[in-house]
Structure 1
Amino acid sequence: MALFDEMLMNYPHRRHFLQTVNLPAFDPPESRFLYMKMHKAACTTVLATLMKHLAAAKGIVEDLSMERVHAPPKSLLLTGPRGLTNAMVEDAVRSDDVFKFTIVREPISRTVSAWADKVDAVGKQRANLMTYLGRPIDAPMSLSSFIDILAHDEGARNLDRHWRSQRLEMSYDQIPYDFVGVVEDIKPAMAHIITAIFGGDAAGEIEDTRKSFGHQTTSKDWREGLSAQDIKNLETAFAPDLEMYEQVTQRLKECA
């Protein structure tokens, strides 16, 4: 089986996979890169920072916005089926000259954030989930109920990229990553990434979209209120992700 096809098995369809991959439209100063976009894991900050530095490398100033970051110009980033081919992705994954990275988030906090931002609010993610469950779109959905559904319904768990397995979303078991950072320690992670791609002079210039776009949720209080049963259900739903996260954090400690 070709490597691309092996990775494709982690996703609902090819378009989903290719929308996760981000490659530079031109060679940056230090290294070409492959960024696997992870929803609910600082992906807006990562993309905005990459776009800012790529634009600077071309001698232009990029006018950043939430909409533009998640639909980047092809002059800066290549993503999705319109910008990428199977061969481009497989070549990037196999190449020793491509800096392969992503940012992940502690799985329990990520799931709570997904509920607070995408399910406890009116929007397409909530509508899709309720339609899948055969419930009215405006039916109540508590955090505990959401977690219970994810623990016992694989279809619901894989329904949306904002809460589906990070291990699958990043093809953790197929891509030989050069670096996997964590949201919980985002500043040094981004400094390492930017240095590897653009050089040391750019390391401190991170686009914090929590400030520039006001992009944040109120998930912290909900995280602290989880019950023992909620935690048990989350451990059932995301056991592979929790194992992965432990491996990632341990590796970061060893490299510190």
Structure 2
Amino acid sequence: MAFHKNLTRVERARLAVTKLICPITRDALRVIPLTDFIFGIYISSRYRYVYIDNPKTGCTSLKSAMAELELRGRKSDLDPLNLEVIHYDSSPLKSFVPIFPKPTLSNLIKNNYRFVTFVRNPYQRLLSCYLNKFDNSTAKDNPQARRMPRGAAPGSFSEFIDAIIGQTDHDMDPHWRSQSINIHYSRVPYAYIGRFENYATDYVTTFHKLGIPADEIPTLRHLNKTGAGRASLHEFYDKKSQDAVYARYQDDFVNFGYPYELPD
């Protein structure tokens, strides 16, 4: 069941109970919207794990593989390469919303569900976001543009950085929100946090941590490439934008061990 922006009385009551019994949900909703919170959670009842989505870290490829694994051996018309199946309610990992009376995140932890996610160097992640959502976007109705401070797409990368660093985490889109906030870093006991920089290796390790035998791990398909990994960050960042990003996203640099210096 999907929760709507304008909650019904029953949904409000269920949410209130969830906040009482699940500290993770209660704390998360203090800093991010309910729709973002729910959208970012993918649950496998079959393999007993939770993937917390962190956009621009290879999540499309990983969620496609997870959907393929979840559907394997079952009669289904769902295509794990279909973006609706990968990202939205059609996903087999979206069978329920972790809001009372369904199991909450705290309840899933108590029941030994394993949590996994991926992170990325903040400098590269923001560049990937800009190139994918604004520089390369041809969509007339860009949902990410609506989350910009003025509700309009930025004209350049420097304009993008200048605009987002003043936003609160609540107002940010998940594609450029602090990764520490996106993945509830201080609240969730992760079994594994993969790194985009070591994607091929960490992709396999993620499934190993979930108890998936090596011969059952889906083949890695690199989906939704932006080219940011091949771009020189020095072409986009100057000292001002580098300092601004380091200051705004300092928790991510510290929590995940990324240095101040721009990657080569």
TM-score, normalised to structure 1, is: 0.78
Aligned: 1:232 with 2:236: no
Identify the residue that residue 46 of structure 2 maps to in structure 1.
Answer: 27
- 1:171, distance to aligned residue in structure 2 (A): 0.4
Identify the residue that residue 241 of structure 1 maps to in structure 2.
Answer: 252
Deviations 1:150-194 (A, max 9, x none): 23x124884211111111010001111111011111122121222
Percent identity, please: 18
Aligned: 1:216 with 2:216: no
Task: Give the aligned residue type for 2:201.
Answer: P
Task: Give the aligned residue type for 1:5.
Answer: R
Aligned: 1:173 with 2:186: yes
Structure with the higher fraction of residues in helix conformation:
1
Which aligned runs of 4 or more in structure 1 are off by greater than 4 angstroms?
Answer: 59-62
Identify the residue that residue 58 of structure 2 maps to in structure 1.
Answer: 42
Q: Is the alpha carbon distance of 1:182 and 1:57 closer, same or farther for their aligned partners in structure 2, counting shifts above 3 Å?
A: farther
Deviations 1:198-246 (A, max 9, x none): 5223465333133xxxx21132325231212221111122111111221
Identify the residue that residue 127 of structure 1 maps to in structure 2.
Answer: 145
Identify the residue that residue 130 of structure 2 maps to in structure 1.
Answer: 115
Deviations 1:88-115 (A, max 9, x none): 2334553262111101111110001111
Q: Is the alpha carbon distance of 1:170 and 1:42 closer, same or farther for their aligned partners in structure 2, counting shifts above 3 Å?
A: same
User: Counterparts in 2 of 1:49-198, with a 5 A limit?
Assistant: 49-58=65-74, 62-63=78-79, 64-73=81-90, 76-78=92-94, 83-86=97-100, 88-95=103-110, 97-120=112-135, 121-123=137-139, 124-125=142-143, 127-129=145-147, 132-133=149-150, 137=152, 141-151=155-165, 153-155=166-168, 158-198=171-211
- 1:142, distance to aligned residue in structure 2 (A): 1.1
- 1:66, distance to aligned residue in structure 2 (A): 2.1
Distance in 1, matches of 2:123 and 2:245, equals 7
8 Å contact 2:191–2:209 — kept in the other structure? no
Task: Give the aligned residue type for 1:27.
Answer: R
Identify the residue that residue 10 of structure 1 maps to in structure 2.
Answer: 31
8 Å contact 1:51–1:62 — kept in the other structure? no
Q: Is the alpha carbon distance of 1:156 and 1:89 closer, same or farther for their aligned partners in structure 2, counting shifts above 3 Å?
A: closer
Q: Is the alpha carbon distance of 1:157 and 1:20 closer, same or farther for their aligned partners in structure 2, counting shifts above 3 Å?
A: closer
Distance in 1, matches of 2:53 and 2:144, equals 21
Task: Give the aligned residue type for 1:148.
Answer: D
Structure 1 residues without counterparts, runs of 5 or longer: 248-256
8 Å contact 2:147–2:171 — kept in the other structure? no
TM-score, normalised to structure 2, is: 0.76
8 Å contact 1:8–1:17 — kept in the other structure? yes
Q: Is the alpha carbon distance of 1:227 and 1:83 closer, same or farther for their aligned partners in structure 2, counting shifts above 3 Å?
A: same
Task: Give the aligned residue type for 2:183.
Answer: M
8 Å contact 1:190–1:206 — kept in the other structure? no
Distance in 2, matches of 1:10 and 1:156, equals 6
Secondary structure at the residue paired with 1:187? helix
- 1:68, distance to aligned residue in structure 2 (A): 2.0
Task: Give the aligned residue type for 1:197.
Answer: L
Distance in 1, matches of 2:107 and 2:205, equals 20
